[in-house]
Structure 1
């Protein structure tokens, strides 16, 4: 050892491996907390492909998570400040603009039976994303007055249509992938909900800035790029989707799954009934009438579910 030190005076390490061992250990210690997450992501990418994971990030983190919570947090203060909504008026407004969420079964039927340019999801997502992004831009840039309530309601409905469409179509693609890879399907669902939750936290934190300062339009400008990026990811086909064959028959699909299509139609009609209850003052103001209408709608839905679906699923 002494001879080696004499021949190599610059080498003062007493341990085998020199400085590389402590450095390697330090790097390993720093990366250790992230190792499970990196392994989780690598496994998902190997099974489902990077395109699906990237689009889920685009839709769930930015739209379903961040944009949704940014906009939801600003509805009430924005309407009170610029449109002078009362509590009762805002309740009706909230039900009206939430209508796209009630149409989720119908949206699924529409996209499955009516492909556009050979794709079931791409064109719909692109068009709805573009409309929703324009609506967010208009809300953030326009000055509304109390007489502009209907205009504001239409724009907010378009925004909710964007979020609902994104949720339905991305979720449908997720379940398709999960059905083909059942052993890793739970991991994909965890990935989706993790991104949605993180996006919701980010959106809520950003909305606090606008709510605290009273600059509610700023919240919509935060949401604008979140919605805009979905236009490009949808238009350029980031969501992996096979083109429907030339002999595709929507009639054959409807005939095969007639019970599910019928249930979607009944749910849509019942949703329209819920909207009608909120818009008719005579029903809303009369508790008994409102209660009976709600019970009737619930009864129709229960009967339809029991009749249209398999008994073990319906129960």
Structure 2
């Protein structure tokens, strides 16, 4: 019988690709999500009966234990970019990860993959980064053989970075260069992250390792916004925004997060932008997992075209002609 892998948070942007990659590898996949009614499209990512969707909330240890019954491996992808309602950084990134690891150990699960983030640091000024580090520590304590993956910003058709700024470029005459746009990133393709998770689940040599996942190029925040404007064929002002001003905007975003609306920026995200989001060369990465990184330029145009004037029917500008 195929091994069973329980994936917590498998209905999200990265999670759905992880479910697909595991199914293609031949695993049976149990997707544990808070709201199963919105995740049944995942059943189509595998063969008939290969993928199962169940209800679980990693803040509830009993539901986590039920989701792990009979599993040989598990993957924890649960995370939020900003706090809202009961979805707090500490309860999900740290306490939730601890619940999964403890339940996995009790259930006899032998392989666990914890998806964290580059920048996870117990001393970070960002609560997001501190709680990610807390989750890693809790997982290591309960499951020393667990594999920890730390991706940089993840790009792909449903990402929250390129799509957000492309949509902003449609409506706004300017895009904000927070902190002057000097922060460096190493964008990694969602498909590469999914393959990395699949390898980490499968390969026993990965046990106990921490990997930092970055793409083939390191780009500044300014360069990323320039790429957005190039792919959407729009000419916009790149407006430097000092961290102090950005933090004031983030404070307003904190209040927006108390409503059902998604905040454009939070103060914690501003804190994150003060630190480069680049893979540590001293740690193993995609290459050690046998994954060839995908260049951001080769992918983003395939989904940002819809933000051009005319969408898929937009004319390709001639060489040397600046888009409007």
How does the TM-score come out when normalised to structure 1?
Answer: 0.25
How does the TM-score come out when normalised to structure 2?
Answer: 0.25
Structure having the higher Rg:
1
Structure with greater helix share of residues: 1
Structure with greater strand share of residues: 2
Higher relative contact order (CA 8 A, sep 6+): 1
